[in-house]
Amino acid sequence: EMMMTQSPATLSVSPGERATLSCRASQSVNSNLAWYQQKPGQAPRLLVYGASTRATGIPARFSGSGSGTEFTLTISSLQSEDFAVYYCQQYNNRPITFGQGTRLEIK
């Protein structure tokens, strides 16, 4: 089973600053990597797919990069509504697997 490892587990950042979240796959997933945002009591929301393509309606401050086994989600200037848990997901191989999540909290 493909393992997805996210780091850090928790990231404390001040509003207006940049946040960088990492996701590592145990083997290559090519560019079949998505990022989701989840707020308490809500369903996940798709942010980025194909490693670097923003989903419909996602603000430009969210950007994804990487390929193969190393991926990054960058939020360029944190807004209050961005504090949430973020998950990466590989859809290159079955079974689909998610990272364990990074909690982005207000510093």
Partner 1 sequence: EVQLVESGGGLAQPGGSLRLSCAAYGFIFSGHAVSWVRQAPGKGLEWVSTISAGGSNTYYADSVRGRFTISRDNSKNTLYLQVNSLRAEDTAAYFCAKASGTYFGPFDIWGQGTMVTVSS
Determine which residue in the list 55, 61, 63, 72 makes contact with partner 1, applying CB under 8 A: 55
Residue type, 56: T
Nearby residues of 24 by Cβ (< 8 Å), 6 or more positions away? 4, 5, 6, 7, 69, 70, 71
Determine which residue in the list 12, 20, 74, 100 makes contact with partner 1, applying CB under 8 A: 100
Q: Taking contact as CB under 8 A, which single stretch among the options 10-18, 45-53, 60-68, 69-77 is the one that binds partner 1?
A: 45-53
Q: 17 vs 99, which CB is nearer to partner 1?
A: 99
Determine which residue in the list 27, 96, 105, 107 makes contact with partner 1, applying CB under 8 A: 96
> Which of 85, 87, 61 lies closest to 74, judged by CA?
61
Q: Taking contact as CB under 8 A, which single stretch among the options 10-18, 37-45, 63-71, 73-81 is the one that binds partner 1?
A: 37-45
DSSP H helical ranges for the chain: none
Distance, in Å, from the CA atom of 56 to the CA atom of 85, rounded to the nearest integer, reads 20
